[in-house]
Amino acid sequence: VANKSQPVRASVSWKDNLTVALVESRNPLNIGAAARAMRNFGFTRLALVAPYDAAFREARSAVGAADVLQNAQLAADLDAVLADCTLVAGTATARGRVKRQPGSTLGGAASLLRAHLKRERAALLFGSEKFGLSNEHLSRCQWTLTIPTDPDCPSLNLGQAVAVCCYELARAPASAPRAPARPRLGRATAAQSQRMVEKLLALLDAAGYINPLTRRSQRLKIRRLVERLEISTDDARVLEGMLRQIAWKLDRQSGR
Amino acid sequence: VANKSQPVRASVSWKDNLTVALVESRNPLNIGAAARAMRNFGFTRLALVAPYDAAFREARSAVGAADVLQNAQLAADLDAVLADCTLVAGTATARGRVKRQPGSTLGGAASLLRAHLKRERAALLFGSEKFGLSNEHLSRCQWTLTIPTDPDCPSLNLGQAVAVCCYELARAPASAPRAPARPRLGRATAAQSQRMVEKLLALLDAAGYINPLTRRSQRLKIRRLVERLEISTDDARVLEGMLRQIAWKLDRQSGR
C-alpha cells in the first residue's frame, strides 16, 4: 500500500492520479463493468464507498481488470477516498438535478481535469445506480460533470457512465484548448472585501492571533488572502454575517 | 413500419438517420445494454444481424429502451440493413487488427459522420463480443473507427462500446466548449477543506450562529461555500490556524 502523503512518482502516468469512486453501488456486476471500462482506457485506481454488496471483487464482468478490483480501496465514507485529492468532480446525467456547484458538460471539463491530473490527484465520483449522487456527496465536489444524455432516457447504466467518462478523459486532447479566464462577474465589491478584512482582523486581534509588532504586515497578508479567494458578493455577505456573530459572542463573553 | 426507400422526412432528427448494427451478437444482455445506450444519447434505429440468441427483445438491461428493442430490425445478413445507407462505418478497438479500410480514431471521424447523418443515412457496425467484425464485414465499410483503448486491455464490452460511440456522435461539436472554473492546481486537499468546514462549523455553533433545526442544511451550505472559494493549500493552512486560535479564545473565555 502506497503512502498517500508521498509526492507522486515521476514515472507514474497521469492516469494513476485519478481515483474513480463508486458511491453506494448496488450491483457487483456494475462494479466489475466499471473496473473493466477503467482498464480499457488505462485507469487503475478504483475506490468503493459503502457498496451494498461486498462481493464485488469476484465480479465476472471485469474481464482483464481483475487487478483493478483486487487493488480497489474499500471505504465506509468519502473522507478516506478524497483525502489526498485536490479536485473532486461529481458526475451527473441530464436527469435534471439542480446544480449547486459550478457545472460543465463532460466534454468541456475533461481537458481541464486531464491537465489537473498531470500534476495532482483528483477523484471522479459516480453515484448509486438508483439515486445517483446525493446533495451531501455533491457538496464535496468542486465540479459537477454532466454527461449529456437524452432527456427522454437520461439514466445511464453505471458501467457505461464510467466507460464514457474514462473514454472522454483518455481521448487525444482536442488541439490544446486553453482554459478561458474566469469571468469576475458577481464578485464582492472592494468595499465588501475591505469590510471583511477589517472584521477578520478585529476578530483575530481579539483572539490574540495578531502579534502587535508585525501587525502591519499581517494585515497586508490577510488582505491579500481575502483577495485571492475571489469571493462572490453573496458569499461575502454570508461570511460577514459569520464574522459578525463570532465577534459578538467573543465580545459578550469577555464582558461578563 | 416505414418504407425505407422513402426520402427522410424533414422533421426527423439526424440521429434517426443512424442505424446501429450489431453483427452476430451473442448475449441478449449486451444487446439490451446497447439499446439502452443508444436511447441514452438519442439514437433509435437498431439492427441485429444474425444474432446468436433471438431472445434479445426481452433483454432486461434495456431500461427505458424497450421501444428500441421492439422496433429493432432483425436480419440474416448485412445486405438488408445497409441497403439505404450511403456510408458504412465499422468499429474496432486497439486490439491490433490489421486495418484494411481507411481508418480513423473515433473522435476524428465522429464529426464527419455527424455531418453525413444530417443529410443521408449511415450505419455503424459492431462485431461480436468474441471476434469483433470479420474481414468480410469490414469489407462492407468505407471507414473503420478505432476506439482508442489501452493496448494492455483493449477489448471493450459491447454495450460500453456502443455507449462510447453514441456519446461521441451525440456530443456537442467541439467548438465553444464550456469550461468550468480555471484549473485548480495547488488547491487545498479534500481533507484540508473538510477540516476547515468542521472547524468553522464548530466555531459557528459555539457562537450561536447555527440554528439546531436547520443544522444539516446550514452545514451543506457552509461546505459548498468553502468549496466555491477554491482555497489554495497554503491559504488553507493559514485559515485553519486562524479558526483554531479564535476557537481557543472562545473556549477559554466561556470556561472562565
Give a three-class secondary structure readout of B107-164. HHHHHHHHHHHCCCCEEEEECECCCECCHHHHCCCCEEEEECCCCCCCCCCHHHHHHH
CA atoms within 13 A on the CB side of A169: 32
Q: How far apart are CA A163 and CA B166, in angstroms?
A: 12
**A23, A137 contact by CB (below 8 A):** yes
CB contact under 8 A, B178 and A104: yes
Q: Splitting chain A (256 residues) into consecutive groups of 10 residues, what average pLDDT does each group show?
A: 43 88 93 95 96 80 86 93 89 63 75 90 93 88 88 91 96 49 56 83 89 85 80 88 90 77
| Whole-angstrom distance, CA of residue A149 vs CA of residue A171 | 19
A-to-B residue pairs, Cβ atoms closer than 8 angstroms: 261
End-to-end alpha carbon distance in chain A: 54
> So what's the pLDDT on residue A181?
35
| A42 interfacial to chain B (CB closer than 8 Å) | yes
Chain A interface, mutation test: which of B69, B238, B249, most A Cβ atoms within 10 Å? B249
Distance of residue A123 Cα from the nearest chain B Cα, in angstroms: 10
Starting at the edge strand found earlier in the chain, the sheet holding B73-75 runs B73-75, B45-49, B18-23, B122-126, B87-93, B143-147, B103-105
Chain B residues touching residue A177 (CB < 8 angstroms):
177, 179
| Closest Cβ opposite residue A204 in set B172, B232, B242 | B242
Contact A86 B233 (CB under 8 A): yes
Question: What was the pLDDT predicted at A34?
Answer: 96
pTM: 0.74
Length of chain B: 256
Q: How far apart, in whole angstroms, are the C-alpha atoms of residue A217 and residue A215? A: 6
Chain B residues within an 8 Å CB radius of A130 = none
Residue B162 C-alpha, separation from nearest chain A C-alpha, in angstroms: 9
Tell me what pLDDT residue A103 has.
61
Chain B neighbors of A171, CB-CB under 8 A: 105, 107, 148
**CA quadruple B101, A42, B40, A123: dihedral, nearest 10:** -160
Q: Which residues of chain B have pLDDT under 70?
A: 1-12, 94-103, 172-185, 255-256
The vertex-A96 CA angle with A121 and B19, nearest 5°, equals 90
Q: Which amino acid is located at B116 in the chain?
A: H
CB contact under 8 A, B191 and A119: no
Q: Which residue(s) pair with B124 in the sheet?
A: B20, B89
Spatial contact of A184 and A230, defined as CB atoms under 8 Å apart: yes
CA distance B135 to B97: 9
Please tell me if residue A182 touches chain B, with a CB cutoff of 8 Å. yes
**8 Å CB contact between B164 and B40:** no
Yes or no: say if A247 and A203 are a contact pair by the CB < 8 Å rule. yes
Which of A155, A159, A231 lies at the smallest CB-CB distance from B160?
A159
Which ipTM was obtained for this model?
A: 0.74
Q: How far apart (Å, rounded) are the C-alpha atoms in residues B58 and A42?
A: 34
A171/B241 CB distance under 8 A? no
What b/e string do you get for B145-184 counting C-beta neighbours within 10 Å, with b at 16 or more?
bbbbbbeebbbbbbbbbbbbbbbbbbbeeeeebebbbebb
Cα A214 from chain centroid (whole Å): 36
**What are the chain B neighbours of A104 within 8 Å (beta carbons)?**
178-180
Chain A residues touching B249 at Cβ < 8 A: 206-208, 250
Helix ranges, B139-214 (H): 158-170, 190-206
* B135-155 residue pLDDT tens: 888 888 888 888 989 988 988
pLDDT at A96: 53
